[in-house]
Structure 1
Amino acid sequence: MSLKTFVKVSNINNLSDARYCAGMYVNLMGFNLEQSHEDFISPEKFKEITDWLSGLEYVAEFETAHPDTILSTLQSYEGIKYIQIQEEIHLKMLVNSGYGLILKITIHEASELDEIIAKSNSYKSFGVVILLDSTSLELNDTVANKISELSSKCDVLLGFGLEADTIEKTLNQTGVKGICLQGGHEIKPGLKDFDELADILEALEVED
Structure 2
Amino acid sequence: MALKTFVKISAVNNLSDARYCAGMQVNLMGFNLEENNKNYISPEKFKEITDWLSGLEYIAEFEHTHPERILTHIQEYDGFQYIQIEEEIHLKMLVNTEYGIILKQTVNTISDLEDLIKKTASYQQYQVTLLLVSEELPLDDTAMEKIKTLAEGCQVLLGFGLKSDSVEEIVEKTKVKGIAMEGGDEIKPGLKDFDELADILESLEIED
Task: Place the TM-score, normalised by the shorter chain, in its bin.
Answer: over 0.9
Q: Tell me the secondary structure at the aligned position of residue 144 of structure 1.
A: helix
Please give the alpha-carbon distance, in whole angstroms, between the structure 1 residues aligned to 2:172 and 2:111: 22
Give how far 1:142 is off.
0.2
**Which structure 1 residue ranges, 4+ long, deviate > 3 Å from structure 2?**
none
CA deviations on 1:26-72 (whole Å, 9 max, x unpaired) are 00000000001111000000000000000000000000000000000
- Is it true that 1:36 corresponds to 2:33 in the alignment? no
CA deviations on 1:71-96 (whole Å, 9 max, x unpaired) are 00011110000000000000000011
Q: Tell me the secondary structure at the aligned position of residue 124 of structure 2.
A: helix
CA deviations on 1:87-128 (whole Å, 9 max, x unpaired) are 000000001111000000001111111110000010000000
Please give the alpha-carbon distance, in whole angstroms, between the structure 2 residues aligned to 1:78 and 1:43: 8
Give the TM-score normalised by structure 2.
Answer: 0.99
Structure 1: which amino acid aligns with 2:96?
Answer: N
Give how far 1:207 is off.
1.7
Please give the alpha-carbon distance, in whole angstroms, between the structure 2 residues aligned to 1:204 and 1:94: 33
Identify the residue that residue 185 of structure 2 maps to in structure 1.
185
Give % identity: 64
Residue pairs, 1:15-164, within 5 angstroms: 15-164=15-164
Give how far 1:157 is off.
0.1
Please give the alpha-carbon distance, in whole angstroms, between the structure 2 residues aligned to 1:133 and 1:80: 22
Structure 2: which amino acid aligns with 1:96?
Answer: N
Give the gaps of 5 or more residues in structure 2: none
Please give the alpha-carbon distance, in whole angstroms, between the structure 1 residues aligned to 2:110 and 2:96: 32
Please give the alpha-carbon distance, in whole angstroms, between the structure 2 residues aligned to 1:127 and 1:161: 25
Give how far 1:146 is off.
0.1
Q: CA RMSD in A?
A: 0.5
Give the gaps of 5 or more residues in structure 1: none
Give how far 1:173 is off.
1.0
Please give the alpha-carbon distance, in whole angstroms, between the structure 1 residues aligned to 2:134 and 2:30: 18
Structure 2: which amino acid aligns with 1:55?
Answer: G
